[in-house]
Amino acid sequence: MSESVGAAPASQPPSGLKRVLVFPGGTEVGLEIWRSLRWHRQVELYSAGAPVSNHAPYVFARHFEVPMVTDPRWFPILKEIVERERIDFIFPGHDDIVEALAQHRDDLRALVVTSPTETCETCRYKSRTYDALSGVVPIPRRYSAAAEVDAFPVFARPDRGQGSQDAHLVADASELEALLLRAPGRYIVTEYLPGEEFTVDCLTDREGRLIYCAGRRRIRVRNGISVDTVTVDNPTFQEYATAINRRLRLRGGWFFQVKFSKQGTLTLLEVAPRIAGAMALDRVRGVNIALLSLFIVQGMDVEVLPNPMPVEMDRALTNRYRFDLRFTRAYLDLDDSLIVRGQVNTELVQFLFQCVNRGVRLTLLTRHAGDPLETLRRFRLAGVFDEIRTVPAGTPKSSAIDQTRDAIFIDDSFAERREVARATGLPTFDSSMVELLLDDRS
C-alpha cells in the first residue's frame, strides 16, 4: 500500500473510523497533531491531559483528564479511557509522554505512534543521545566538572529535558560550580554553540528507510518553541539525518536540532522521536508528518510529494472561548456585516457553515437596496441561508424576528443591535464579536 500526500492512498487504510487519542492534547505538539488530523475522513480525535489549565478542551470535542505521569495513577486511568472509548492509536504530545507511553505500549490495546522503546529512552537523555551518536555526527564537547572547562561561556541544560527549558548560559567557573552543586547530576554541560540554530524534520518509513527530511531555521524562539521559522536547504541536513537514522531505530515522524559551533560546524543538540509543533511548515508544503506516521504505525507503505517552495511561518496567540449560549436560529445582517467594503467577511462565513453543520436555521435580515439574493450569488453565497427577509427603511428589524428564544442576532449597526436587544431580549453581536461563536473542536 502506498500513500501520496494530497491524494488518497493507493490502497485504502483499514475500513472504519480510527479513534486517535492525543496525549497531552494541549501542548503545541498536541495542537499540531490536531491540526494535521482534524479533517481526515477516517480519524476521530480524542484528547487527554493533566487537570490543569490548557487549550485542549477548546479544540478537542472529546477531552479527558489524566494525572501527570509522575503520579502513579496516570496509567490505570489512561488505560481505562483507552478501553472504554475504544481508542485505536495514541499520539504522545510531550517528551515525557513519549518515554512513558513507549514503556507501557505492550499493556495498551491502542498502538503508540512513536519509535521503538529503546530509541525513545535513549533520546530522552542528552547524554545517552550523545553517547549513541558519538562518531556518527558532530556532537558538542562535554564537561563533567568546572575544572575541565578551558573556555567560557558554556551551556548547561537538564540532561533529561526538552527545548531550552531551564537552560543556562554559564559565564564562569564559580557560576558553573554553584549550578552543579545546587542540582547534582541534573545538568549536562557542553561547549557553547554561538551560531544559527536549525531543526530538521524527518520521516522514517515502516522498513526503517529515511524518506523525508527538511531543515528550517529557528528565527524566533519562545519557551523553546519556534514561533518564527523558515525553510532552509543544506545538504548537511540530509547527511546527518541519514546517519542518525542508520544508528537509531526510528519510525514515523522525528526531528533533530543542530547549531553552528565557533568553528562553523553544524553540531547536534538533540534528537526527538515525536512530532514537532512547527512541523506545520512541512504540512503546508505537502508533507503531513503526523498523518503519515499514523499510516506507518499501521504497517502501510507511504511516499511524500512536497511542494519545493520556501515558506516562512510565524505564530502568535489564537483566541478560543467557552461560554453558555445555545441557539437554534441566527439572524444576520448583509451590508457591512457579511459583505464589508465589497469583500466577503470570511470569519462570518466560517460561522455560517458551522451553523449549517449543526442544523442552526439561518435568516438574513437586510435593508439591502438591491436584490439580496443576486448579491449573495455574486459573492458565491447563494444557498447558505434558509430564508431571506428584507426589512423596509423605518421598520425595526425586531418586527421580522419571530423566534425570540434560542436565537441570536448579528449586525454591524449598534442602533440595530440595541433596538433588537430591547425589543426581543436576544443576545446581539457585531462582526468583531463573532470569534466568540466559533467552535473549532473536532
Q: Are 342 and 379 in contact (CB under 8 A)?
A: no
**One-letter amino acid identity for 251?**
R
Q: What is the pLDDT at residue 92?
A: 98
Q: Tell me how far CA of residue 408 lies from CA of 85, 131, 424, 436, in angstroms.
A: 35, 62, 10, 13
Q: Find how far residue 176's CA is from the centre of its chain.
A: 36
Q: What is the pLDDT at residue 15?
A: 54
* Angular region, 368: left φ>0, alpha ψ -120 to 50, beta rest: beta
Q: Tell me how far CA of residue 295 lies from CA of 83, 133, 270, 274, 409, in angstroms.
A: 22, 28, 26, 15, 45
Tallying the residues shown for the chain, one arrives at: 442
Spell out, as residue ranges, where the chain has pLDDT lower than 50. 1-14
Q: What is the pLDDT at residue 12?
A: 41
pTM more than 0.95: no
Backbone angles phi, psi at 404, to 5 degrees: -110, 10
Q: Are 19 and 113 in contact (CB under 8 A)?
A: no
DSSP H helices in 248-371: 280-284, 289-297, 346-358
Instruction: Please name the residue that has the C-alpha cell 503508540.
Output: 112
**One-letter amino acid identity for 378?**
R
Q: Nearest Cα to 198, choosing from 158, 231, 238, 164?
A: 231
Cell of 188: 549536562
Taking the C-alpha atoms of residue 204 and residue 193, their distance in angstroms, rounded to an integer, is: 28
Taking the C-alpha atoms of residue 57 and residue 358, their distance in angstroms, rounded to an integer, is: 19
**pLDDT tens track for 119-132:** 999 999 999 999 99
3-state class (DSSP) for residue 133? helix
Q: Are 295 and 206 in contact (CB under 8 A)?
A: no
> Structural domains in the chain?
18-113 (3.40.50.20), 141-191 (no CATH), 329-437 (3.40.50.1000)
